[in-house]
Amino acid sequence: MSLPDVIRALPKTDLHLHLVGSASVPTVLDLARRHPAAGIRPDAEHLRRFYTFTDFAHFIDVYHAVDQLVRTPEDVTALIVGAARDAAANNVRWAELTVTASTHLGVGMDPGALAAAMAAGRETALREHGVRLGFIVDTPAEYGLDAADATTAFLRHHAPPGTVAVGLAGLEQAAPRALFARYVEQGRDLGYRAVIHAGESTGPDAVRSALHDLHADRIGHGIAAVADPELLAHLAHTGTPLEVCPTSNLRTGVVADPARHPVVELLRAGVTVTLGTDDPGMFDTNLCREYGYVARLAGLDAHGVAGIARAGVRASFAPDELKRDLLTEIDATL
């Protein structure tokens, strides 16, 4: 098989996938028509211009604007099923979908109805598309501790089946990672892992804080670690997985040169790298495209891309039996 054929054939995981950012342009246009009060014009050309980001802070503003289009439990279910459909087209077998519950609750959605909508979407994703889903319920740093507390309350009383982790995302500059230590600790007390965005739009100190203050199980992005050789060596030694999303980094401007993405240095340093799509609807990407880009940039062959697929399986919070099955299937693909 050619390398693109191998990439398509490999069973994959997508561990860094935001629900709202997964929405395709047609889906967002449909939401805009149904919810005009959110203020996004239902015009395809306007939306494409809207999705041209000037910097990371602008991307966050756009993301929050689109977030306001998700007004009903039915919207949530439809987005989950749509994300699964697109994932299945890239042979993704397990995806961990990040849902920002506090945003949906903030527009008046009932917490029980939100949880039921997530559960319904998860069931339909498996039944219709063969994609198994776990949920990461996150809070954006820029929303502060009140949103974090609302997220914890939602998980304590209404967590849907398949919830695997709490997350911290959003604008890193808005608040230090350590501010959310209680939020992460409460999530652990409820039985959830911790996935922390760090080192995406700031420096390596954010990654260090995610590791030492929040004891992150995985780091979202983490690409700034390449600026700190000691941190890079620590990540390689501990095997803490990084969820690297190359197209996202290029589209938001945190990486300027597509020929010099930090993923190459991370791989060469022996860091555990998984690949994710982040917000594929906004960035016009998919997981096969991410694999192909990294393979070209890092000079990977079929065994190299299979290694990344294996890392994604091992770093996931999927059930052990599914992990074993996926690893066996990866070996059989080569």
At 81-97, the pLDDT tens digits run 999 999 999 999 999 99
Closest of 132, 134, 20, 35 to residue 78, by C-alpha = 20
Q: Tokens for 201?
A: 């739009």
Closest of 101, 106, 177 to residue 139, by C-alpha = 101
Closest of 57, 89, 83, 59 to residue 70, by C-alpha = 83
Provide the pLDDT for residue 134: 99
177-202, pLDDT tens digit by residue? Answer: 999 999 999 999 999 999 999 999 99
The catalytic residues are 200
Is residue 48 over pLDDT 90?
no
- The whole-angstrom separation of Cα 276 and Cα 285 is 10
Average pLDDT over the chain, rounded to whole?
Answer: 96
Q: Which residues pair with 132 in a beta bridge?
A: 94
Is residue 135 over pLDDT 90?
yes
Stronger pLDDT, 24 or 216, i.e. the higher one? 216
Provide the pLDDT for residue 221: 99
Is residue 32 over pLDDT 90?
no
Is residue 35 over pLDDT 90?
no
Q: Tokens for 97?
A: 């979908």
Is residue 26 over pLDDT 90?
no
- Determine how β-strand 92-99 pairs with β-strand 12-18: parallel
Residues 6 or more apart whose CB falls under 8 angstroms from that of 247 comprise 277, 278, 283, 284, 285, 289, 290, 293
Q: What domains can you pick out in the chain, each with its CATH number?
A: 3-333 (3.20.20.140)
Query: How confident is the model over 107-123, as a mean pLDDT?
Result: 98
200-217, pLDDT tens digit by residue? Answer: 999 999 999 999 999 999
Kindly provide the b/e burial profile for residues 53-74, where b requires at least 16 CB atoms within 10 angstroms of the residue's own CB.
beebbebbebbbebbbbbbbbe
- The whole-angstrom separation of Cα 225 and Cα 204 is 5
